[in-house]
Amino acid sequence: MDLFGKSLLDFHLKNPKPLFFKIGDNKFERDVSQYFRRDIKLFSQEELELFTLCNGRTLDIGSGTCNYHFLMKSDVVGIDNSTYLNQIAKDFNAKTINSDIYNFNSDHKFDSFCILGNSLGLGGSLENVLNLIFKIKDLSTPGASAYIIQKDISAPYETYDIEIEYNNFTEKIQWLSINRFYLMELLNSLNIKSEVLSVSSGNYLLRIYNF
């Protein structure tokens, strides 16, 4: 159904309706304007740092509206499985691939990867975090790095259902958050290196390299 993508497209087409997320007992309205930021002042320090760190051919995984690509100097292409969001990205003159990242293959490898907005957890399970890491490894040039911004949590990791409510329809998706030390241990056990570049406002910026 892709209610998230549809709500953002309606907002983009100036026909906004409220979007609600319910996580456990907590139901709240999601402010979709954050996916349409066009002013550099609206981005966090971590995000601005990530934008400058990406270099060469860059793949932005779970790119959404790509509203931040204008701040990136590298040759960036987004990948997102939402046709609605890729339609918005096109209006922002961003390059995107309409595909599920897990099914994506390419002969052209990438020098950098970025994952913003807690999106390492988009597969909704620890197994899918590993699948995503292996996918990045497959798509990497020698010496490539991935830069991710994740919400930090105290538990090693946490999976949760998000019930999305929009325009009288509901849909459930699964998401995951992961603690930075736990993620680094996991990567270390795969002989993949990582370093925390900064931590602030409950988020961490991690570089993953030596795939």
Ligand X SMILES: C[S@@+](CC[C@H](N)C(=O)[O-])C[C@H]1O[C@@H](n2cnc3c(N)ncnc32)[C@H](O)[C@@H]1O
Q: Interface with ligand X by CB under 6 A: which range of 16-24, 111-119, 193-201, 203-211?
A: 111-119
For ligand X, which is the closer residue by CB, 59 or 183?
59
117-136 residues near ligand X, rule: CB under 6 A: 117, 119, 122
Rule CB under 6 A: is residue 81 a binding residue for ligand X?
yes
* Residue 95 CB coordination number (10 Å): 14
Please identify which residue in 7, 58, 63, 112 interacts with ligand X, judged by CB under 6 A. 63
For ligand X, which is the closer residue by CB, 102 or 169?
102
Rule CB under 6 A: is residue 35 a binding residue for ligand X?
yes
- Cα distance between residue 43 and residue 4, in whole Å: 21
Q: Interface with ligand X by CB under 6 A: which range of 24-32, 78-86, 162-170, 185-193?
A: 78-86
- Cα distance between residue 45 and residue 204, in whole Å: 11
- Establish how many alpha carbons lie within 13 A of residue 65's alpha carbon, considering only the half-sphere containing its beta carbon: 22
For the stretch 187-190, contacts whose Cβ atoms lie closer than 8 Å and that sit 24 or more positions apart, written own/partner, are 187/133, 190/130, 190/133
- Reading across the β-sheet that carries 96-98, which strands appear in turn? 96-98, 75-80, 57-61, 110-115, 140-151, 203-209, 193-200
Please identify which residue in 6, 51, 64, 120 interacts with ligand X, judged by CB under 6 A. 64
Rule CB under 6 A: is residue 62 a binding residue for ligand X?
yes
For ligand X, which is the closer residue by CB, 177 or 193?
177
Q: Interface with ligand X by CB under 6 A: which range of 19-27, 62-70, 182-190, 197-205?
A: 62-70
Count of residues in contact with ligand X, rule CB under 6 A: 17
DSSP string, 80-111: ES-HHHHHHHHHTT--EEES-GGG---SS-EE
Residues at the contact surface with ligand X, assessed by CB under 6 A: 5, 35, 62-64, 79-82, 85, 100-102, 116-117, 119, 122
